[in-house]
Amino acid sequence: MPMTHEAATSRPACRRGGKISLVVPVYNEGKGLAALRDALVAVMDALPYEWDCILVDDGSRDDSWAVIESISAADPRFKGLMFSRNFGKEMALTAGVEAAVGAGAVICLDADLQHPPEIIPELVAKWEEGYDIVATIREKVADYSLVKKIGSKTFYWFMRRFTDLDLPPNSTDFRLLDSKVVETLAQFTEGSRMFRGIIDWMGYKKTYISFCAPARSQGEPAYSVKKLFNLAINSFTSFSLVPLRLAGYLGLGIMAVTLPLLCVMVLANWFIGANITAIAFFTVFNTLLIGIVLCALGMMSLYIGHIHTEVVNRPLYIVRCRAGTWDGNA
């Protein structure tokens, strides 16, 4: 595959200052990186901005890193970060954004071309209008399964109803962040994070652009149903105390039903002569109490797990090596 590139010509300064950095998490995307590179070059070279692209290899098991090294060697605008293992997409996005030093804006997008590079000019145009965050909403996905569609709708319903986030349904990580947003993001240190949730929690001046996601051209989706479920649980418990409150509400509700029932059973035995045995009563009552305790413990364990993750204060990610030119050094 061709890897030649002519030196970038000088460009006029952008309205809001600085270059534009693209951040792309990569996990087993070796077969599609050449197509991604060609698409990004075609779009970004048509814009009047200096730009670069940071490809973050999140512990891929294929030849993704070898392809990243080849691309970055042929085109100095492409750089690579290689994680020591798979830390997850949220950390790959975080690492890429933190590595975008001196950028006036950062654009995050996926490597599978389901975030169409062709709409990047629309993101930039909104940024030029004065928006600090330009996010995208996916109108449809060509290869989404029914399970993922139902799960997505359920997730966004819970997030909008039970958290303080303004998270529109089908919003994505494909978004532009102004430099002030990037600087604020650097202050967040939590390990269990939902990247776009943190961005939406910040506030700032924000707008949305809709797009239709095409089917993947290469490979398999990096996010399995299990990973999506874990992300949903982490996101919900990171931004809402509702699960803890629900456990308390459930306990109160069961007590409100159980205590009157207990009184009715006692009165029925005393005055009506109903044949309600003590064993039957205590079996039902203890089962309900055990359910309350297990529910409450399960919810609290999620939050205790988050507390443990933050208290140990491990690095969010570990960069094993780099590719390309970073601050003038190879």
Q: pLDDT tens across 142-159, in order? A: 555 566 566 666 666 666
Residue entry with tokens 């309600």:
276
Which residues have C-beta within 8 Å of that of residue 242, sequence separation ≥ 6? 162, 163, 236
Strands (E), 3-116: 19-26, 51-57, 78-83, 103-108
Cross-sheet strand order for the sheet of 133-141: 206-213, 133-141, 171-178, 103-108, 19-26, 51-57, 78-83, 319-323
- DSSP H helical ranges for the chain: 33-44, 64-74, 89-99, 120-128, 146-162, 179-185, 195-202, 225-239, 242-267, 278-312
Residue 238: other Cβ atoms inside 10 A: 19
| pLDDT on residue 147 | 61
How many residues in the chain? 330
Helix (H) or strand (E) holding 60: none
CA distances from residue 206 to 97, 149, 197, 203, 227 in whole angstroms, order as listed: 18, 26, 13, 8, 28
Q: Which residues of the chain have pLDDT under 50?
A: 1-14, 328-330
| pLDDT on residue 17 | 64
**Token output for 297:** 């413990």
Which residues have C-beta within 8 Å of that of residue 269, sequence separation ≥ 6? 276
Which residues have C-beta within 8 Å of that of residue 116, sequence separation ≥ 6? 211, 213, 214
Q: Is the dihedral of CA 271, 275, 278, 284 positive or negative?
A: negative
For the entire predicted model, the pTM comes to 0.67
Which residues have C-beta within 8 Å of that of residue 297, sequence separation ≥ 6? none
